[in-house]
Amino acid sequence: MTSAISNLTYQAIQGRLSVLQRRLHILNESWNMQAYSTSLELYVEIIPSLLQAERCTIFLKEPGSDRICSVFGTGLQEKQIAPPLKGSIAGAVISTGRTVIENELEKHPGYHSVTDKELNFVTRNILCVPVKSQVDKEITGAIQVINKLANKSFDMDDQKIVEKIADHISIFLEGISLHQEMVSISSELRQDFSQLLSSNGMDMPFIGSSPVMLRLLEQVRAICDIPVNVLVQGESGTGKEVIAKMLHKGSQRREQPFVAVNCAAIPENLVESELFGYEKGAFTGAMQCKKGLFEDADSGTLFLDEIAELPLTVQPKLLRALQEGEAYRLGGKKPIRYDIRIISATHKDLRKEVAEGRFREDLFFRLFSVELNLPPLRERSEDIISMALIFFRDTCEKFDKKLAGFHSSVLRLFEGYAWPGNVRQLRREVERLVALTPADHEITLDYCSAELMTPGDKSSPEQHEDRSSPPLLSSASGVSSSLAEEIKEMEIERIRSALLKTNGNLSKAASLLGITRQGLDKKLKRYNLKHRL
C-alpha cells in the first residue's frame, strides 16, 4: 500500500513539473523575464495616454493563494499595492472575471480610500478589466485605469480598448505567474518527499522522480527494516551517504547510533585502531584505552564509505568481525562483541577490485547481501530541475537572500550538462549562483561557472582527466563557440536523441522534450532537421 501511494505521489509531482515546464516552453519561445517586465512597463505608460487618464496599475494574482499585488503601476514601485480579494475593485474583478467601471467613487468608500491616504492621492473613477490566461482561461490578474482626465467618465469604448490590451498582457502575466510557481513548487516538493519518507520512518529526503530513482527508492524502502548488510555503489557526489542514512532511519535501529567513517581518509597505519580501538599501552602514546568505531556503532549502523580503499592488511580482521560479530582491540586479549548493521559504499567497481587482487574475495561475499546501484545525475536528467529548485530555496533561506528564481535558459543548461560531480556539484553550483546574483534579480547565464559554459562532449567523467571541468557540448570545429551556438547545438542534440528514442514519432518526442508537437515542428524547421533520422 505504501509503495503504491509513494509511486502515485512521485508521479503526481513529476506530472505537475512536466506540465509547468511545457507551459513555460510555450510561453518562453521568444520571451524571457526581462522582456515580460519591459513590455508591462511599456503598457503602463501607454494605457493612460490612450484613455486620457491619470494612472494605470497591473495586478497579478499569486498562484496558489488569494494574494493580489501590483506588478507595475504609474509612479509605483513593484509590488507596492496588495489589494484584498474581498473588499477591493481589483479583487472583485479577479474573483468574478467581469469588468468593473466606477465613475462616482467619492460616494463609495472602499479599499481605494485606504490607498489614497497612503499615497496622498484622490481616486475619482476606475476602469478595471480582468486578464485571462491564454493557457487555461483562468483569471491571472487585472488592469486598472484611474481618473479619466478633464473630469470625464470611463465608458464602453474605454472598456473595449483595455480588454483588447488585456489579451496581449495575459501572456506576460502568465509567464511571470508560472515562473513564480516553478520557484515556489520547490517548497511543496520538499514537503511531499519528506512526508513520503516519514511514512516509512525515514526523515532524510532524497530527491528523485525519474524511473531509475523511483525503482531505487522502492528497493530502499523494501530493505530498510530488514537487518541485512548493504553495499551502495555510485560515483562520487551521487548521495551514497544519504541512502545509508535513509536505510538507518527506516530501520528498528533508528534510535541507535549512525556512525560514518571514510576509509580513504584514515592513514593506513591507523585504520585498525580507528575501527577496533586499542588498549592502554598497545603502542607508544597509547596512554589510555580507546573505543573503536565498531564499538561506537554498537546496536546501530556503521557506514563504511569508500570501502574499496580499506588496506588489505586490515581486511582479514574486518572479515572476522563480520563473521563472528566480534573483534579484539589493538593490544587486547578479550574479544568485544558487536551488534551492528554494516552499510558500505564505494565509487569503484568492487568486483574489478577483487579480480585485480586489491580486495579480498571472501570479504566481498561477506560484506553485503544486497547491492544498490546509485545512478549518476547525467542518467537521471529528469531530476535535475526539481533538485535545482529545492537547492535554490534552501540556499536562499541559508543566505537570507531573495531572488526571482532561474531564467529558463539556465534550467535548460542544467538539463544538458553532464554533472561529473553529480548532486554535490549541482548543489555547489546553485549555492554559487545564489551568492553571486544580486538581490531580487533573476539567475541568468551570466552568473554560471566556467565549468558549465565550456563547450565539449557529454561523455562519462571517467573519460576526462579533469573531472572538475567537464565539457558540456560538442563543437564541430573544436573551437569555443558563442553561447547562442552552444544552446543551439544542445537543442539539436536533445531533439535528435528524442527522435531516435521514439523512432521518429513526433508526438512522443515532443512529450520527452517537454514541449508541444507544434513547438517541435517549429524547431525542426528552424534547424532544418528531418524527423526520420
CA trace torsion 259, 260, 266, 272 (10° rounding): 40
Fold of 210-375: Rossmann fold (3.40.50)
To which residue does cell 509605483 refer?
76
Give per-residue burial for 498-516: e unless 16+ CB within 10 Å, then b. bbeebeeebeebbbbbbbb
Query: What's residue 4's pLDDT?
Result: 42
Q: pTM of this prediction?
A: 0.54
- What lies within 8 Å, CB to CB, of 299 at 6+ separation is 253, 256, 257, 339, 340
Cα-Cα-Cα-Cα dihedral of 364, 369, 375, 376, to 10°?
Answer: -40
Q: How far is CA 317 from CA 275, 278, 286, 332, in A?
A: 10, 14, 21, 13
Q: How many residues does the chain have?
A: 533
Residue 491 grid coordinates: 537543442
**Alpha helices of 67-110 — where are they, by DSSP H?**
89-96
pLDDT string in tens for the chain (533-residue length): 444 445 445 555 655 665 565 555 545 544 455 566 677 788 888 899 899 999 999 998 876 677 888 877 886 654 467 888 888 999 999 999 999 999 988 777 788 888 888 778 888 999 999 998 877 778 889 999 999 998 899 999 999 999 999 988 887 766 666 655 655 554 455 455 445 444 444 444 556 667 888 888 889 989 998 999 999 999 999 999 999 999 999 899 999 999 999 999 999 888 999 999 998 877 888 788 999 999 999 999 999 999 999 999 999 999 999 999 999 998 888 999 999 999 999 999 999 999 999 999 999 999 999 999 999 998 888 888 888 888 898 899 999 999 988 888 888 889 889 899 999 999 999 999 999 999 888 898 888 998 888 744 443 433 333 333 333 333 333 333 344 455 567 678 778 888 887 888 888 887 777 667 776 777 787 778 876 55
Fold match between 24-182 and 210-375? no
Nearest-10 Cα torsion for 3, 7, 12, 13? 100
Instruction: Say if residue 93 is exposed, middle or buried (CB neighbours under 10 Å; 0-12, 13-18, 19+).
Output: buried
Under a CB-based contact definition with an 8 Å cutoff, are residues 329 and 279 in contact?
yes
Query: Who contacts 338 (Cβ-Cβ below 8 Å, separation ≥6)?
Result: 294, 295, 297, 298, 321, 325, 326, 327
Q: How many CB atoms lie within 10 A of CB 435?
A: 11
| CA pair distance 357, 273, nearest whole angstrom | 24
Rounded Cα distance between 196 and 85, Å, is: 34
CA separation for the pair 100, 93 (Å, rounded): 7
326-327 and 336-337: which strand pairing?
A: antiparallel
Residues ≥6 apart with Cβ < 8 Å to 156: none
Neighbours of 440 (CB within 10 A): 10
For 114-211, list the strands marked E by DSSP.
126-132, 139-148
Q: What is the DSSP letter of 254?
A: T
List the grid coordinates of 132.
Answer: 485571462
**Residue 345: partners with Cβ closer than 8 Å, 6 or more residues away:** 231, 232, 233, 234, 240, 241, 244, 303, 304, 305, 306, 307
pLDDT at position 14 is 55
Can you tell me whether residue 239 is helix, strand or coil? coil
The CATH code of domain 379-526 reads 1.10.8.60
Four-way CATH pick for 24-182: 1.10.10.410, 3.30.2130.10, 3.30.70.60, 3.30.450.40: 3.30.450.40
Q: What are the sequence ranges of the domains in the chain?
A: 2-22+185-198, 24-182, 210-375, 379-526
Q: What is the pLDDT of residue 233?
A: 95
Take residue 203 and report the three cell numbers written for it.
526523515
Rg of the Cα atoms in the chain: 30
Which 3 state secondary structure label does DSSP give 266? coil
The full DSSP string for 489-509 is: HHHHHHHHHHHHHTTT-HHHH
Strands 126-132 and 277-278: unpaired
Cα–Cα distance, 166 to 99 (Å, whole number): 11
* Residue 20 and residue 182 in contact, taking contact as beta carbons nearer than 8 Å: yes
Contacts of 354 by beta carbon, 8 Å cutoff, 6+ apart:
360, 361, 364
Are the CB atoms for 38 and 199 separated by under 8 Å?
A: no
Contact 278, 234 (CB under 8 A): no
For residue 73, the cross-strand partners are: 57
